Amino acid sequence: MKPKTQLLTTGLALLLPQLALATFTFNSNGTGADGDWTLDETDCPDADTPITLDVGESGIKQFSSITINENCAVTFTPTGGGSSNYSQPVRLIVTGDVVIDGTLNLNGESGNISGVSTQVVGGRGGPGGFDGGSTGIPGSASYSGGFVGYGPGGGAGNFSISYGDDGSLTPAPSDRRLQPLIGGSGGGGSFYTTSSTRGSGGGGGGAILIASSGSIAHNGVISARGGAGGNGNGDGGDGAAGVIHLVANQISGNGEVQSARAIFETLDNRSTFTGATHYTIEFQQLSLDLSPSSQQIQITQLGGEAVTPGTPLVLEQAGEQTLQLSSSGLAEDTTIRVTVSNSRAQTVTTADATLDADGNGSVTLTLQSGVMMVVAYVVE
């Protein structure tokens, strides 16, 4: 069966339905609860000193408008994803217009360099990205293998050769509309040796969604590059770049985008964005509508616990779990395919549900603990 209508949530119970025709005005369904976010030249006296926006555990900010002056550089917190932490991608939901003349920085950090008999951790990932792998553990042995980078595409750490492998953007489906909002994975660390310095893996670039009910004018820089591996006598692997996703009724400007994947969806494209040659830039006709009247699928319960829209889908313990679904605008007996991916555990689980007369359904899956990313779509 092939997908007909695709809806996705990237770690959230926030669903973006894909419709067949773009005959509407896009509605981000934002609340504007965080007001106008304006950074002018008085807020940014020094372009080399970034302004940090705390997006919290959910990664979501609900703005009425966004204006970033050309002298302003913005970073985000929290960041990274490793053995004891995980940050959500940045989601800026805007009811009005967006103007970006400055820089939005979601880059992963570079790896570190060990001493001859020390271990160093990998570079931290950007928001929604993953940390690089550490160098090998010092000990009595002459050699100790480097650690794999974090994330589903983490680069391998190496024992017998000098260099850690580069991370990758995973998953990266051929259909860009099935691309989860996920950052790049970390590079692998180089092995420990008593005779020379070694490098840890670079952090993966982050991921960002900017959805505006108005327009997005981008003349600055949006960057989600992966960090370089630490450059010792044995180098760490580079972190993978992340994802940039812009959605608005009109997108314009000649700004720069730096990511592994950049997806721009609009009814009126007036942009001439640039990027490094190895990055992919795609334009698609706007086919998203977050308004309540559109066809939607909502995850309502996970493991018997209610799911609140705009909060992460987090499973504390591994095991068999039931996901309850509700829908609007879809017929009885419609088959919904649900795919759950866990970036930390590097697993993907799929099951089908059939909607009842009230538009509800459920799937039971065996899942690993961690932050869930869910893709749900109608199949025929």
Q: What is the DSSP string of 187-213?
A: PPPPPEETTS-BBPPPPPP-EEEEEES
Burial 133-158 (b: 16+ CB within 10 A, else e): bbbbebeeeeebbbbbbbbbbbbbbb
pLDDT at 45 over 80: no
- Mean pLDDT over 114-129 rounds to 87
DSSP state of 225: P
pLDDT tens digits, residue range 190-245?
A: 887 766 778 899 999 999 999 999 999 999 999 999 999 998 777 899 999 999 99
Using only the alpha carbons of the chain, give its radius of gyration.
21
Q: Which residue has the tokens 């391998």?
A: 156
Taking a C-beta distance cutoff of 8 angstroms, is the pair 127, 61 a contact? no
pLDDT tens digits, residue range 88-116?
A: 899 999 999 999 999 999 999 999 988 77
In terms of Cβ atoms closer than 10 Å to its own Cβ (0-12, 13-18, 19+), residue 259 is buried
Residue 53 pLDDT: 96
pLDDT at 150 over 50: yes
> In the chain, what are the domains?
3-11+295-379 (2.60.40), 23-292 (no CATH)
CA dihedral 283, 280, 211, 53 (to 10 degrees): -160
